[in-house]
Structure 1
Amino acid sequence: MGGKDCGIGERGCETQSLVREDIESACLLFPISPYPKSSLFGHTSDPNYVLALTQAIYGFVPQAWCLMIPGVNFEFGESLSPVAKQGVETALQKIDELIQTIRKKLCMKLK
């Protein structure tokens, strides 16, 4: 995805259990921007390409972020692994922090 690779899959497969601190540092939330040189193959693409496509079609690019959550087992199943569950909790906290930051910036602009 646009040059970002945190290697979660490799690390997760080797250890099968990540400690809480590793999960929190592995759960990444970062802004992304249009990158038209990304590729579109079949049913896959990346968020940077989708933003570039949005810009080409509508002439506007919304603010966008990529959220990466760690996982260790990608087989079909009925529930998330403990690592993924903790990753979801951490991700929700990061999303809440992002929303609070954006709200503060908007309020500052309105004053």
Structure 2
Amino acid sequence: MKNTKTNDLKSLVGITIMIALLFLGILYYITNNIYNKNLTNELDSLVRTHKIENYYIEKERVNFTTFKYRVSVSYDDSRKDKYPNLFYLTRPIFSTDKIDIEFENQK
């Protein structure tokens, strides 16, 4: 009788861990897609409003809980020396923060 309760408890703990890992995987997938879409939408809006000409994004995992985005942008000649061509964004693993990129004169 005692052995059956132990096996039931082990099974319950195993199922609980599997459900928790599945939930974390789904949460990771959703938040990752939301953040990437927010970043892309913000940069696309800058292209549409002619604040930048083009952009390129590289994503890198810094550690288990952090991602680093390297964003390269190109400008037309009138803005080329006023703003940085490269900037970095750091994102915690489950962050979905909205991204707003503002341009102010750097020089």
Q: TM-score, normalised to structure 2's length?
A: 0.29
Query: Whose strand proportion is higher, 1 or 2?
Result: 2
Query: Whose helix proportion is higher, 1 or 2?
Result: 1
For the pair shown, the structure with the greater C-alpha radius of gyration is: 2
RCO higher in 1 or 2 (8 Å CA, sep ≥ 6)?
A: 1
